[in-house]
Structure 1
Amino acid sequence: MMAHTIVVGVDDSSPSLAALRWAARRAVATGQRIRILHVSGPEAVSQSAEAGGALRRAREILRTEFVCQGHRLDIETRLVFGRPLPALVEASLDASLVVVGTHKTGFVQGRVFGSRFLQLPALAHSDVAFVPDSSSLEREGIVVGVDDSSYGRAALAFAASEAERSRAELTLVRAWKGVAPAHEFAPASGAEGALARAERLLDAAAERLRGSHPGLTIRRRILQRATAEALVEASGRCALLVVGASGEGAQLGALGPVVHDTLFNLVAPTIVVRTGFDAATEIALAGAAPGERMTQAAGGRSAG
């Protein structure tokens, strides 16, 4: 059964508050519950009142900026004593999404949520969102990195559904390396082959999505640079970047190098897709018959 809770990790840092507001906007838009999680070290057990201050401040922000403005928002708070990374991984068991705030360079910042959280997508049981402090800037459109891995196909399906839900334009991005041929009559080369493969991959992905999401506005971008650089450039002003947790050639279940490098240079809210890379994803991307729907494989019990 799909989980219906968005978990957001908070401390007193500015990126953490940006993540809180982003998670709340998403919870309002999707009708999900939001669980505010604060993790304090074991030494803080005797000072639980002080440790809970971050939770009280976070709840008050949501009450003032969302609930009092007429938005329906189901808010839960949870204080955990221990190490932050294991606490977030455990919290992901019954979550649809775990959200953490990041500095614009990709380092998750604050007293609790440090750069080690770049490994969270490799360990979590749910998808993971990294929200930079600049996320409040006016942004539009959804960008997804396209490859032919299982996680890549899941990311594509997720991004298409997200674009359809939010009525946003979807941009498919593929990178390639090498020197382009000097002119159209130049002999075929490895670089030319790489460009042709990138074009074919995006053409095929766009065609499948037009079948399963006929009303979607789809753009394609092929950039001649390293994949992480291409994703960072393409997502400069987008509302959301979507990537698979592992890409082509990466070990299944491990955080891929492209995702790692992208998170180190984050410029837009980014969801790393860990779930949904099952047979249902293959059906959706292969052109599901009318009425067939993709279901997301999310671990744990329903929290809604």
Structure 2
Amino acid sequence: MKPPVARAFGEPLPLVVGVDGSEPSLRAVDWATDEAALRGLPLRLVYASLWERYEGAALMEGLGRTSEQIAVDDIVEAAAQRAHRRHAEVRISTEVLPDDAVSVLLKEAHSAFALVLGSRGRSGMAELLLGSVSLAVAARAACPVIVVRGNHDNQADAGRHRSVLLGVGEGPNSAAAVRFAFQEAEVREAALHAVRAWRCPARESTDHPLMVAEPARLHERRAVEILESALNGAAAEHPSVDLRRRTEEGTARRVLLDASADADLLVVGAHHRDGSFGLQLGRVAHSVLHHSACPVAVVPQQTHRQDADLTRD
């Protein structure tokens, strides 16, 4: 069953994919096409004509075209044909926009169901770094941003594990991520593994062997309470979802990265921080975007710019 989707002027909001002709962006097109087919959404492919400003001028040079516009049109058309071959029933539109990639995608986010991006662009550091466009957009977008990671061993293939992984934050700021994760599990007919990490600070431990376990039990109990509070409402709204709750001792980053190897999608809430370099993601979201073994959805809270960490780490 497809969940209700946001609409503008009676039309469902599209999934928007940033394309640049690179292999990671084509994998993002594949993933987004599958997602659009699952959810019954239109697919919008956008190319920013100044993409090379962020991901390297080698894009145009490598294509060897005398006309940049011809090259851009070829890239967009190839992406559209690829999506059509994958799911002919999905309605596809394309557009080339004359601006840098981050500006284009952030504007698109205001009228998109979600943005889907490749994990890296055309950079000489491609094997080491998350693409600068993906990271900048995930930190600031008004809608969910899915970065298609898991490029090795076909980890990014939809439905391979029939499992959605949710990192559960604290308080109302995690509500949007929880709702998104339940919807994803429902449309995929997948199990939803909701995880809350916890830690017992060293200063709370004691040398007495009979007292060592007590602080840990308190922190674990608190993690269980947070998990139940965050999930109860959405679980009642999605009774068909196979919900599996889990608390685990450790940092949220380690717990989620370990679990991502067995998931089709990892969902975390956006944790925007005001810093000297502008809005930045929280540590957990930043870490999983760089190192997750599967695609990552970063979901901003609609009414709050701040989102709690999954645990202190």
2:196–2:252 Cα contact (<8 Å) kept: yes
Gaps of 5+ in 1: 103-107, 279-304
Residue identity matched to 1:177: R
> Map of 1:47-196 to 2, 5 A cutoff?
47-67=68-88, 72-102=89-119, 108-110=120-122, 114-132=131-149, 133=151, 134-136=155-157, 138-178=160-200, 186=211, 189-196=214-221
Rounded to whole Å, the distance in 1 between the matches of 2:50 and 2:132 is 17
Q: Which residue of 2 aligns with 1:31?
A: 40
Rounded to whole Å, the distance in 2 between the matches of 1:236 and 1:175 is 17
Out of 258, 262, 267, the position equivalent to 2:293 is 267
1:10–1:55 Cα contact (<8 Å) kept: yes
Inter-CA distance 190–98: structure 2 relative to 1 (3 Å threshold): same
Task: Quote the offset at 1:238 in angstroms.
Answer: 1.1
1:232 aligns with 2:249: no
SS of the residue 1:55 aligns to: helix
Rounded to whole Å, the distance in 1 between the matches of 2:163 and 2:206 is 32
Rounded to whole Å, the distance in 2 between the matches of 1:208 and 1:214 is 10
Task: Quote the offset at 1:144 in angstroms.
Answer: 0.7
Rounded to whole Å, the distance in 1 between the matches of 2:51 and 2:184 is 39
Q: Which residue of 1 aligns with 2:237?
A: 212
| Aligned positions, number | 267
Task: Quote the offset at 1:223 in angstroms.
Answer: 2.4
1:42–1:81 Cα contact (<8 Å) kept: no
1:222 aligns with 2:247: yes
SS of the residue 2:170 aligns to: coil
TM-score (normalizing by structure 1): 0.77
Higher relative contact order (CA 8 A, sep 6+): 1
Task: Quote the offset at 1:161 in angstroms.
Answer: 2.5
Task: Quote the offset at 1:187 in angstroms.
Answer: 5.2
Inter-CA distance 114–204: structure 2 relative to 1 (3 Å threshold): closer
Rounded to whole Å, the distance in 2 between the matches of 1:79 and 1:158 is 29
1:5–1:33 Cα contact (<8 Å) kept: yes
Q: Which residue of 1 aligns with 2:3?
A: none
Task: Quote the offset at 1:195 in angstroms.
Answer: 1.8
Residue identity matched to 2:68: Q
Out of 216, 232, 256, the position equivalent to 2:282 is 256
Residue identity matched to 1:20: V
Task: Quote the offset at 1:185 in angstroms.
Answer: 5.3
1:200 aligns with 2:225: yes
TM-score (normalizing by structure 2): 0.75
2:162–2:189 Cα contact (<8 Å) kept: no
Residue identity matched to 1:77: T
1:109-161 CA deviation, whole Å, 9 max, x = no partner? Answer: 32599334312123212111100224027232111111224431211122122
Inter-CA distance 114–210: structure 2 relative to 1 (3 Å threshold): closer
Task: Quote the offset at 1:165 in angstroms.
Answer: 2.8
- What is the root-mean-square deviation in Å for CA atoms of aligned residues? 3.1
1:46-85 CA deviation, whole Å, 9 max, x = no partner? Answer: 6211122211111121222321xxxx11111111233111
Residue identity matched to 1:57: A
